[in-house]
Amino acid sequence: MNPEFIEFLVKENALRFGDFTLKSGRKSPYFVNTGVICTGSGLHKLAEFFSEKILETGTAPIIYGPAYKGIPLAVAASISLSEAHSFPNSWLFNRKETKTHGDAGAFVGKLPKEGEEVILVDDVFTTGGTKYESVKLLEGLGAKVKSLVIGVNREEKGEEKNAVEEFVEKTGIPVHSIAKISDCFEYLKGKEIDGKVYVTDELYSAFQKYRDDYGS
């Protein structure tokens, strides 16, 4: 558990509670979105959490973030690794649509050499759809995806079992999360932060119901 990261997400409104419809169509009582962290100080702190996890689990020469929310994560984590931890690296992200003029192509940043290691970063793992797409894109460039580093693991079902476990089995790529959603709820349940209780008994019950339906 990483209490500092959990409180950071809540204070930045990157972990929100309510009624949300996910890309998968599932109705969720919470939502994770680091894209709302758009201040210099907030992104700097978020990058520190990611760079620390990358250093802990193994570095690589290139940090890749999928469009769109992965883009600032990759760039900021690359800066943090270089400046705060003196690890030389580059960043890379994809375009949603291939550019056909000027610097034409589907990517922006440092393209990997054949067999060069890349770390994929993203804010959350639900069913893994965009992560499979990213792995396919990177392997198409000849890169070796060393690991996937995510902010929050939603701990949800995939096709048959835990979505992260399925991803690891299918791709052979390890997944490292800064926090698990179960830890977030356990830590925040009834806890007052800056005068506010984010996870009430009612919300915790809704989370447990969601876990019964979609958790693993």
- Whether the bond between 64 and the residue before it is cis, its omega within 30 degrees of 0, is no
Percent above pLDDT 70 for the chain = 95
What CATH number is associated with residue 114? 3.40.50.2020
pLDDT of residue 104: 41
Could you confirm whether 136 is annotated as catalytic?
A: no
pLDDT at 103 over 60: no
Number of domain units in the chain? 1
pLDDT of residue 98: 55
Q: Indicate yes or no: pTM above 0.95.
A: no
Percent above pLDDT 90 for the chain = 77
The Cα 80–Cα 6 span in angstroms is 20
Domain membership of residue 187 as a residue range: 3-214
pLDDT of residue 101: 43
pLDDT at 183 over 90: yes
Active-site residue identified among 23, 45, 69, 101:
101
pLDDT of residue 86: 84
Active-site residue identified among 27, 99, 113, 170:
99
pLDDT of residue 123: 94
Could you confirm whether 101 is annotated as catalytic?
A: yes
**Which residue has 């995806």 as its token pair?**
145
Nearest to 42 by CA among 8, 10, 79: 8
Degrees, nearest 5: CA angle 169-21-191? 85
